[in-house]
Amino acid sequence: MFANDRGSVTVEAALSMVTLVAVASAVLAALATMAAHLSAVQTAGAAARAEAVGVTFEPTRGSVEVASTGGMITVTATVPAVLGDVAATAIAPVEDAP
């Protein structure tokens, strides 16, 4: 040990706390991004079903892009997240009116 170790425990504790806060923030950001992905999947599915029966869908969060090809509706939903935008795609067949 050096003759002047005074304050070394405080410095180590401060560095440990910074590391713990950084890791906890990263975990929370990852969880929030996963929740946004689930929201994008749900939004894409709901939009595809709505467009398949002829109803216009307005998302509560994010945006949707609708494409219709060969009797199929393809919807891509984009939702903002902590670690960037996440997107999900859903496909539904067009339903015929009775």
Q: pLDDT band for position 7 (50/70/90)?
A: confident
Q: pLDDT band for position 1 (50/70/90)?
A: low
Q: Is the pLDDT of residue 98 over 80?
A: no
First to last CA, the chain: 87
**Would you say the C-alpha torsion 44, 47, 49, 54 has a positive or negative sign?**
negative
Q: Is the pLDDT of residue 8 over 60?
A: yes
pLDDT tens string 25-80: 999 999 999 999 999 999 999 999 999 998 999 999 999 999 998 889 999 999 99
- Where b means 16+ CB within 10 Å and e means fewer, 68-79 reads eeeeebbbbbbb
